[in-house]
Amino acid sequence: MRNWTKFLAGLAAGGFVLSATAALADEIRIGITMRMVSENGQKYGQMVMDEIGLINEAGGINGHQIKATLMNDECKSDKGVANANKLIFQEKVHLLVGSTCSSVSLPIVDVTAKAKVPQIIPHSTNAKITQKGSAWVFRVPVSGRFYAGVNAKYVGENIGKKIAYICAADAASQNDCDAMQAQMKSQHGTEPAYVAQVQEKEVDFRTHMQKIKLAGVDGIMVAALAETMSRALIQSYEAGIGPNVRRIGSSSASNAPVPKISGDAVKGVFYAAAYSNADTRPIAKLFNQMVKDRYGIHAPDHDFSQAYDLIRIVEMALNNSDLKLTNSSLAADRTAIRDAIANVKNYQGLASGPISFCADATPQCRDGNKTPVLISYRKGGEAFETEVLARVSMPEDFGL
Amino acid sequence: MISFITNFTSVIESLAKVHRLLPWLIAYVLLLFLPNLITATFGEYYVDLANRCCLFILLAVGLNIVKGFCGQVTVGHIGLYAIGAVTSALLAQNYGLPFWLSAPLAILVTCLAGLVVGLPSVRLEGAYLALATLGLGESVRIMIAVTPALGSSTGIMMIPAPTIGDYVIESFDHYFYLVMTAAIIGIYFSFVILNSSTGRAFKAIREDVIAASVSGINVPFYKLLAFVISAIYAGLAGALFAHMPPGYLHHNNFTVIEMVTLLLMVVLGGIGNIWGGVVGAIVVTVIYDQTKDYYFYQPLIFGVTMVFLVVFMPRGIGGVIEQAIVKRKFIEKHEEQNLGTS
């Protein structure tokens, strides 16, 4: 009996300690779940937290402080869902930011839709995310459906139509690969010269490269996450495929580890992204300098710029929301934030084009950025350099 | 076949001891109040955590049957879990089967897979068996990753939640009743198996294969049976995981890291100790959840814990508690004897 008493007392004490961290009124709560298993991944999260910290230092949002909770989902859907549940039901967040990986964002869309919590996506490009028809989701990055259209147009007109594909088994890369093949077919009527489905963390591409070499292709598309892509690029040269065969990257090609690991093998690789550090606009120069000073990154990729744009959009939306911030107004506050984000029109930030949202729960409304920029690497290694090849605004219903 | 019928009879005999069911029923009834208690004390999210604990309890108890009772070093359990999950998800999605039909069929498919995973155990031992089962488990994950029909890179979405009539079991607390019932039944049956002649045969094989064989135990049959029984647990856990809202599966849910985490649960709880497996599953799941803020150090925490356990607590938490109980009984017995002699 005494043991039972001890157990219940312990349970109550534990509950008291945990409930001390429960929701407080008068603060705006933002939950963030991201893939932070790499150095860059951690820096994306850190930058979001730092920017929120600066908003708080400047007086917050209409006098209210933002309480941000950052969590790592390791690019795993079950962990992402657990994070989302914790942030929504335990932390009682008003807004959820996440995730980096499409395979994590996809299930979280269902969680936020059911719980009626606005979700804004910083990095995921898989087209299916906004095609689910959730009224609570917004995407800051360029959707994969737009990237494919731009890539295919440029490749067909400037490089050739005989393209080989190496597609890694992560959601974003697979989506980029499939969409590119579909666009090459619809725009130029061509079938892939060679397709290799590889593991997410594949290390040996030599056999595929030998076959690609024999196929005599005009270009090779490598759709994979940063480290995997780098290996494929290096091994393509080891296999004797010359620089006259252009290498096309998926959107991950913009991530800093690609030029750093690939070295000279990255020269000439082009890809569609949302931001180029070679951008000459004053805002881009200031941003590049800020990232360099704060995080030691000499050329930020588009995941940095997208995270930064996201915070600016969130700041605008929160400033335009009539929030009560009481425990009883949580649902109404969440709805107000959703509606305020939906009212963001023509935001001009670091992205290659304007970001606009609207109220309908459709990809046309919720894929905010419709302007991919084509970027090419001029130099690899630690001090890599890029150049902008083209900037194309796509029709909102493209690729649907 | 004859030995199987004999063993089946022995299991039924164990089940017939109805009076042993009473504490289980009491515990079950008490656990029905747990979601309300957790929500009131800690918050709604912790019911979701309890759901995940129940899933891992099923997995850990199932792994304990093949690893702890029978002594077979398997590292392919997560592969079976994946087969159960994907099978149930596809049956529900493509053929419109309700959970109550898709889950048993998924368990059946997982049993067959368990038989395949168990086949190397007939000829292999120790590290070789571990490698073979690891290969099979990883093959399953890769198959899921590269096959569009199995979800491929995007995963399987919109897997329907279980229903009872028109009611959809999707809230944390109602799903808890489902996974908790499965966990309780799973734990109970593992005790039934352990206390039957089948369980004794498993333990005999674990202690000494040659001696067991000489004693007339059909070693290959029992090894395969252990794998099949553990597959039932993995298949059920997989089906429950697949249908748990938001109903999404991805091959990344079934990596070697998950297998290592599961092994840690069993080792922490105590290999061959049923309650140890339960405690291990709860402790590891909760610790993992509560240390999320220190994500950078998590692998280090788990690695050091594993080394610490192997060196200082090779029998796990369950083993330590068991040892304490034995010691206490021994002291009490001696005290009684001393009192009797004085």
Mean pLDDT by 10 residues, chain B (342 residues): 59 59 87 93 94 97 94 92 97 96 97 89 83 90 90 90 93 96 95 93 93 93 94 97 95 91 91 91 91 78 82 84 84 78 60
Question: Of A18, A114, A173, which is closest to B43 when you measure between CB atoms?
Answer: A18
pLDDT of residue B19: 56
The torsion angles phi and psi of B112, rounded to 5 degrees, stand at: -60, -40
Determine, for residues B252 and A76 on separate chains, whether the beta-carbon distance falls below 8 Å. Answer: yes
Question: Of B48, B145, B249, which is closest to A199 when you measure between CB atoms?
Answer: B145
**Which of A23, A43, A44 shows the shortest CA–CA distance to A86?**
A23
Residue A167 and residue A151 in contact, taking contact as beta carbons nearer than 8 Å:
no
Question: Of B49, B153, B170, which is closest to A170 when you measure between CB atoms?
Answer: B153
Helix (H) or strand (E) holding B167: strand B167-168
pLDDT of residue B12: 59
pLDDT of residue B41: 92
pTM of the model: 0.86
Can you list the positions of beta strands (E) in chain A? Answer: 27-34, 65-72, 95-98, 119-121, 137-142, 163-168, 194-198, 219-223, 246-249, 270-273, 367-369, 373-379, 385-391
Name the residue with tokens 């957790």. Answer: B38
**Which of B89, B240, B234, B235 shows the shortest CA–CA distance to B157?**
B89
User: Which residues of chain B make contact with A86, given a CB cutoff of 8 A?
Assistant: 45, 48, 289, 292
What's the distance, CA B179 to chain centroid?
12
User: Which residues of chain B make contact with A44, given a CB cutoff of 8 A?
Assistant: none
pLDDT of residue A16: 43
- Least Cα separation, residue B62 to chain A (angstroms): 21
Sheet containing strand A65-72, strands side by side: A65-72, A27-34, A95-98, A119-121, A137-142, A367-369
Helix (H) or strand (E) holding A342: helix A330-342
Determine, for residues B45 and A111 on separate chains, whether the beta-carbon distance falls below 8 Å. Answer: no
Determine, for residues B52 and A82 on separate chains, whether the beta-carbon distance falls below 8 Å. Answer: yes
Q: Is the peptide bond before B246 cis (omega within 30 degrees of 0)?
A: yes
Residue B61, burial from CB neighbour count under 10 angstroms (0-12, 13-18, 19+): buried
The torsion angles phi and psi of A52, rounded to 5 degrees, stand at: -65, -40
Q: Is the peptide bond before A173 cis (omega within 30 degrees of 0)?
A: no
pLDDT of residue A18: 45
- Least Cα separation, residue B42 to chain A (angstroms): 5
Residue B67 gets which letter from DSSP? I
Residue B50 and residue B35 in contact, taking contact as beta carbons nearer than 8 Å:
yes
Question: Of B154, B248, B292, which is closest to A71 when you measure between CB atoms?
Answer: B292
pLDDT of residue B16: 55
Low-confidence stretches of chain A (pLDDT beneath 70): 1-25
Secondary structure of B100-123 as H, E, C letters = HHHHHHHHHHHHHHHHHHHHHHHH
Name the residue with tokens 């135990």. Answer: B217
| Three-class SS state of B276 | helix
Question: Of A11, A77, A128, which is closest to B252 when you measure between CB atoms?
Answer: A77
Question: Best residue in A29, A39, A77 to probe B by mutation, most B CBs within 10 Å?
Answer: A77
Question: Of A15, A86, A174, which is closest to B41 when you measure between CB atoms?
Answer: A15
* Measured distance CA(A46)–CA(A57) in Å, rounded: 16
Residues of A with CB under 8 A from a CB of B: 11-12, 14-15, 18-19, 22, 36, 42, 71-72, 74-78, 81-83, 85-86, 88-90, 102-103, 106-108, 110-111, 114, 126, 128, 132, 168-171, 173-175, 197, 199-200
Those residues whose C-beta lies under 8 Å from the C-beta of residue A41, and which sit 6 or more positions away, are: A34, A35, A100
User: Which residues of chain B make contact with A200, given a CB cutoff of 8 A?
Assistant: 145, 153
User: Which residues of chain B make contact with A83, given a CB cutoff of 8 A?
Assistant: 292
Residues of B with CB under 8 A from a CB of A: 37, 40-46, 48-49, 52, 142, 145-146, 152-155, 157-158, 170, 172, 241, 245-253, 289, 292-293, 295-296
**Which of A375, A309, A372, A336 shows the shortest CA–CA distance to A122?**
A309
pLDDT of residue B10: 63
Three-point CA angle A292, A293, A294, nearest 5°? 95
